[in-house]
Structure 1
Amino acid sequence: MNIVYLNRSKEAGFSIAKVFKPVIKLVRQEQTVEIYNMPHFGAAPHKILKNLLFVLKLRRKDAIFHVTGDIHYILLALIGCKVVLTIHDIATLKNAKNKLDYFLKWLLWFYLPIKLANHVVCISHKTKLEVLSVVKKKAISVVHNSVDSGFSRMAEDKKNFTPVILHIGTGWNKNLTRVIQALKDTQCNLRIIGRLNAEQLGLLNSSGIFYSNDYNLTDEQIIVEYEKCNLVSFPSLFEGFGMPIIEAQAVGRAVLTSNIDPLREVGGNSVHYVNPESVKSIKEGFKALLSDNVYKESIIKKGFVNVERFSVTKIADQYIEIYQKIKI
């Protein structure tokens, strides 16, 4: 089979491409693979048109096209071709500014692409339910994201007397403000990955928390961040999946995360759950993980078992099975 992966523009970030990178590596061992990134970033009409024209030139009947996410509308340029569409979430609809904006995004990002795709893949059961609530589709399934084999078991540095709490992401949904409030008066090093805004910086500087910050890290640098921390803070308000959970578990770090879907789906019984809207709940969660080593070690052991569900071999095999069905 010839599999053509179509990714959004590099300007949009590497999160989706990063998720598919290890999967594509395994698929390439059995199939012919091509990868293209859209030349234009954003949803302005002229940029959408230029991306559609770019994809039109790639059309052919002897390949299976896999749109990896975010740029769903490009299926309009693939009518008559065999296409798999992966949907990560419906945040595009949730962020609509008004009724007209909602309708256009529903039409171009969901209704038409979903109807045109041979098969739709959602990265969690929550996302699948949300997709089906806005567009009906029979050929739809769940394939979780995989954890890169580069994330491997690493012993915790017991000489680190000041615990390092790694917080991934600074967007609104990452709940950093409540994390800062919860950690006030806690002896720790809050290590934040992501660009901080003025409000977040002001809150950090007035909290008395020792913190450090970095952003635009390579995949290799991110792995090192997990290895150097003692636990991972991920009490998100909204996620399509929750990669930090399985990345942390693969390395051997306990995770504090939100008692919401799809984080419950990803974390199972192997994480410490908190109410993401309660500073008190988050504070008590950190206290439990920082003060009780026996409990923390039990969470870590469960994490090693849980992360096996997301091995890249299992996920790649599921995608290959879908490709095979479409090929017939």
Structure 2
Amino acid sequence: MLFSKQNKSNSKQTSFMKVAVNLLPYSSYQGIETYTRNLINEMIKIDGVELILIKHQETPDFFDFGDKVTEVIVPFKKVLKAGVAIYLQTGIYFLLLKLKPDVLLSTSPASPYFYSKNVITFHDCAYDRFREFANIFSKYYFKSMYIAAKYFARKIITISEFSKRELIDVYKIKPSKIAVVLEGPPALPKVTITAVDEVKQDFNIHGKYFFYVGNSRPRKNLKRLIEAFGAFQKENSSYKLIIAGKIDNRFEDIDGIIAKFQLADSVVRTGFVTDEQKVALLKGAVALVFPSLYEGFGLPVLEAQTLGVPVITSHTSSLPEVGGNSVYYVDPYSEKSITEALSVLVADKELCSRLVEKGFENIKSFSWKQTAFQTLAVLEKSEK
């Protein structure tokens, strides 16, 4: 069996797998990068597996695992995005011939189309469901990857039953080719109460607040969240809404939306935050508000629950799989539904306490160790 430990009293070699991991698409710190880092961090603990990380010169430091892995540095920078795309369809084949891995694990759609040992993780079909917000390159580049994977990948991993249904519906991929492997709860840094106060002071945050973390793509539903908060604030003027994460006004003019509803003094945009800052802001929040229209998984839900913070989220896409009965659900297409949720959690302290307790129970169902073992089981089966 692949994952059994070697018996030192027996010199016979146990099963062994050499796994190359494609890190070339990554240069920032977002959801897929977090998924990949957590997965690798658990995979390196499993006996019988050699990991080879394929990087570029600007691969982020959070993919540094020291001598626990073998690293291969491709001599170009991620800033040359076209270079990455071209290399993945040309030069990487020669590298893989040299490395001779048993399998290549690509944790994003950006991977060599025709490599016969490729196992790809698809997180969602957002580029197809929200095509009007993608540029022409992204539309066709990612679509070509999904189509190539349908025919040439050994196996496709996805992170929820919802995403599996999406892949079947959008690309007509055979269900037998798709394996569902859920994510785990995040390993968050410990932050003291003093640190919470210091971070709040750094961002000039005073009093009670709701917290959102994520990007500003339209599917994240920030416009409705801000509008709903504006309606809530008419009766609850002391509360604020904190929006953490990179804002990209190519998608929506978030500042304009805030100004439209006259919320400049009540909505705080922090921009990008570190893990420590995110944890501090979450711990100080009344609740996480995550009314996304579309998620492949929804890791912020588990982040909040790990810290004992109640969660308001959508009853759409994968979020019910992640939240179960431990969150307060809203209709993300209804500002009124979101407003009512904010009001209910402010008024009902017992409900908040129950959500916290249920959240702690919910996260027990998720484990990155389990994710790693299940992923490696898929890789092993793909060899056969």
So what's the TM-score if we normalise by structure 1? Answer: 0.86
Per-residue CA distance 1:80-108 (angstroms, 9 max, x = gap): xx22211011123334469x989955762
Q: Name the CA shift for 1:241/1:315 in 2 (closer, same or farther; >3 Å).
A: same
Aligned to 1:145: 183
Once the two structures are overlaid, the 10-residue window that deviates more, 5-14 or 130-139, is 5-14
Q: Deviations over 1:270-321 (max 9, x none)?
A: 1000111111110000111111110011011111111122221121121122
* Gapped regions of structure 1 (runs ≥ 5): none
Equivalent residue in structure 1 for 2:207, among 162, 166, 175: 162
Structure 1 residues 208 and 29, CA, compared in 2 at 3 Å: closer, same or farther? closer
Which structure's CA Rg is the greater one?
2
Give the counterpart of 1:238 among 290, 294, 298.
294
Q: Residue 2 of structure 1 corresponds to which residue in structure 2?
A: 18
Matches within 5 A, 1:238-317: 238-317=294-373
- The RMSD of aligned alpha carbons is 3.1
Alignment pair present for 1:34 and 2:52: yes
State the shift of 1:242 in Å: 0.9
Q: Is the 8 Å Cα contact of residues 174 and 237 (structure 1) preserved in structure 2? A: yes
Of residues 118, 122, 128, the one that matches 1:83 is 118
- 1:75 is paired with a residue of what secondary structure? coil
Do residues 67 (structure 1) and 67 (structure 2) align? no
Aligned partner of 1:85: which letter? Answer: I
8 A contact 1:96–1:102 mirrored in 2? no
* SS in structure 1 of the partner of residue 241 of structure 2: strand
What CA distance in whole angstroms lies between the structure 2 residues aligned with 1:95 and 1:43? Answer: 22
* Cα distance in structure 2, aligned partners of 1:90 and 1:11: 21
* 1:130 has 2:166 as partner: yes
Q: Which residue of 2 aligns with 1:188?
A: 239
In the TM superposition, residue 180 of structure 1 has moved relative to its aligned partner by 1.7
Q: Equivalents in 2 of 1:207, 1:66: separation in Å? A: 45
Aligned to 2:257: 203
CA separation in 2, counterparts of 1:193 and 1:107? 30
| Cα-to-partner distance string for 1:226-254 (whole Å, 9 max, x where unaligned) | 22322101001122211111111111111
Q: Which amino acid aligns with 1:26?
A: E
* Corresponding position of 2:94: 57
Residues 192-214 of structure 1: per-residue CA shift (max 9 Å, x gap): 11234483223324136523222
Contact persistence 1:192–1:212 (CA under 8 A) = yes
Q: Which has the higher mean CA deviation after the structures are superposed, 222-231 or 255-264?
A: 222-231
Deviation at 1:188, TM superposition (A): 1.2
Mean Cα displacement is larger for which, 168-177 or 267-276? 168-177
Secondary structure in 1 matching 2:277: helix
Query: 1:151 touches 1:250 (CA, 8 Å); kept in 2?
Result: no
Cα–Cα, structure 1 residues 103 and 287, in superposed 2: closer, same or farther, change >3 Å?
closer
Given candidates 17, 34, 42, the residue that maps to 2:33 is: 17
Give the direction of change, closer, same or farther, for the CA distance of 1:190–1:7 in structure 2 (3 Å limit): same
Change (3 A) 1:314 1:92: same
Q: Give the total of aligned pairs.
A: 321
Q: What are the ranges of 5 or more consecutive residues in structure 2 without an aligned counterpart?
A: 1-16, 57-76, 197-204
Q: Which moved more, 1:246-255 or 1:144-153?
A: 144-153
- What is the rounded CA distance, in whole Å, between the counterparts of 1:64 and 1:47 in structure 2? 20
